[in-house]
Amino acid sequence: MVNKPLLGCIADDFTGGTDLASTLVASGMRTLQVIGVPREPVPADIDAIVIALKTRTQPAGEAVADSLAALDWLKAAGCRQFFFKYCSTFDSTPEGNIGPVADALLAALECRFALACPAFPANQRTLYQGYLFVGELLLSESGMRHHPLTPMTDANLVRVLQRQTARSVGLVPWHTVSRGAPAIRAAFDQLEQAGHGYAIVDALDDGHLRAIGEAAAGHRLITGGSGVALGLAENFRRAGLLGDNRQAGALPGLEGPSAVLSGSCSLATNAQVEHWQRHRPSFQLDPLRLAEGRDLVAEALAWAAPLVAREPVLIYGSARPEQVRAAQEQLGAARAGELVEQALSRIAVGLRELGVSKLVVAGGETSGAVVKALEVRALRIGTLIDPGVPWTRTLGDRPLLLALKSGNFGSVDFFEKALGRVE
């Protein structure tokens, strides 16, 4: 086996990183997730590296610069293929950042074409005729239309991506995808020859995603959700580059109390918060009160201190769309979001001082902020709690078990289920 990693991945947020890493682990690739471009040497004998960035909602120029720095590192590490991971709900604004980052990666790799497929059927994201569905709803009719930072109001991804790039965007529709890898490969070639820079690719089930992955074996850059990574390990195996070393994914446990921090305002997370509140203690952070200068961080920690030794606690900013709107009207979306992220980050640090060693964090931006505040540099990936969300264990001193949950993922009892697996 080679010592250089085969696949180099750049994730635009941290929950997205663990989602992708868990897919690669399950398909037999030894995968390390690092937070930002690594500053120290990474362990040898890694098949895939996921560099998790926080570029989804940065200004586009900064997102491009950070992604190119990650690409440079991955190229220098010897990776053969590169993966730009974005959200299965294509979270972005009209300015980006999916288009600008993908454009920059293509240019840096001297390529003219990449596929774009966020489908994740296990989490009910499917693509049909270029339209993204969340369950039975179009993306634009799903809870994503109310996202605090990246509201998605158009389900046609050819249109959405076209607004973000000067390269032309084509479509590989379902009837081609269902004919398997050779037909998909031929469609990619035709689109590239016709001058298209991207192909949105339909996918309704994991079989489609595996076929798309197989068709992309020769692509230098793949862009998409974690679903389209399902078939990539098999390409490396076919080429004799990867063994069949399926990882158990079991992580050594940790003693100590646990807690949940939630900054996601998605439908799924709001339901999980309500479920928790039926039987367990919780503390709410209101961005309007944070903006008035009230020290809710100290209040939350003072509230949690006597409790955590006995039972897990939830501290949350999560709110319904009307409350989020009220806060955003007064503070602006970015400031409201930042206030909650900063408060939850400081609370995470405070909880660790209280001995908490197991943390569930809900929300991609929120996870990014928390993981940065905890100065986590790398994560080992463990077993799945629900599709797209594994337990992870931080590397380095003072290890923590972290479950970074995408806002939209997980069953209604996710928080209890996650903690039940490590207690």
CB 242 within 8 Å of CB 261:
no
Of residues 291, 404, 403, 399, the one with CA closest to residue 343: 291
Cβ of 163: how many Cβ atoms within 10 Å?
A: 14
Q: Is there binding between residue 126 and ligand LB5GJZVW (CB under 6 A)?
A: no
Q: Which stretch binds ligand LB5GJZVW (CB under 6 A): 15-23, 192-200, 243-251, 345-353?
A: 15-23
Of residues 132, 139, 107, the one with CA closest to residue 221: 107
Q: Is there binding between residue 52 and ligand LB5GJZVW (CB under 6 A)?
A: no
Which of ligand ADP, ligand LB5GJZVW, none lies near 263, with the C-beta cut-off 5 to 8 A by kind?
ligand ADP
Which of ligand ADP, ligand LB5GJZVW, none lies near 265, with the C-beta cut-off 5 to 8 A by kind?
ligand ADP
Please spell the DSSP secondary structure of 328-346, one letter per residue: HHHH-HHHHHHHHHHHHHH
Query: Which residues contact residue 290 at a Cβ distance below 8 angstroms, ignoring those fewer than 6 apart?
Result: 296, 339, 340, 343
**Burial (CB count within 10 angstroms: exposed 0-12, middle 13-18, buried 19+), residue 5:** buried
The DSSP output letter for 405 is E
Q: Is there binding between residue 388 and ligand LB5GJZVW (CB under 6 A)?
A: yes
Which C-beta is closer to ligand ADP: that of 212 or that of 374? 374
Report how far residue 420's alpha carbon sits from residue 423's, in angstroms, rounded to the nearest whole number.
Answer: 5
Q: Is there binding between residue 363 and ligand LB5GJZVW (CB under 6 A)?
A: yes
Q: Using CA atoms of 382, 383, 387, 391 in order, give the dihedral in degrees to the nearest 10.
A: -50
Report how far residue 203's alpha carbon sits from residue 193's, in angstroms, rounded to the nearest whole number.
Answer: 23
Min CB(142)–ligand ADP separation in Å: 12
Q: Which residue is nearest to ligand ADP (CB)?
A: 407
Rg (alpha carbons) of the chain, rounded to whole number: 21
Q: Is there binding between residue 368 and ligand LB5GJZVW (CB under 6 A)?
A: no
| One of 318, 345, 357, 392 touching ligand ADP (CB under 6 A) | 318
Min CB(277)–ligand LB5GJZVW separation in Å: 21
Which of ligand ADP, ligand LB5GJZVW, none lies near 341, with the C-beta cut-off 5 to 8 A by kind?
ligand ADP
| One of 407, 410, 415, 422 touching ligand LB5GJZVW (CB under 6 A) | 407
Which of ligand ADP, ligand LB5GJZVW, none lies near 203, with the C-beta cut-off 5 to 8 A by kind?
none
Place of tokens 């569930």: 360
Q: Using CA atoms of 128, 212, 209, 71 in order, give the dihedral in degrees to the nearest 10.
A: -110
Which of ligand LB5GJZVW, ligand ADP, none lies near 390, with the C-beta cut-off 5 to 8 A by kind?
none
Min CB(241)–ligand LB5GJZVW separation in Å: 26
Q: Is there binding between residue 88 and ligand LB5GJZVW (CB under 6 A)?
A: yes
Which C-beta is closer to ligand ADP: that of 147 or that of 185? 147
Return the half-sphere exposure (C-beta side, CA atoms, 13 A cut-off) of residue 372: 18
Which C-beta is closer to ligand LB5GJZVW: that of 134 or that of 172? 134
Contact residues: ligand ADP, CB under 6 A: 147-149, 263-266, 269, 287, 317-319, 323-324, 327-328, 336-337, 340-341, 363-366, 406-407
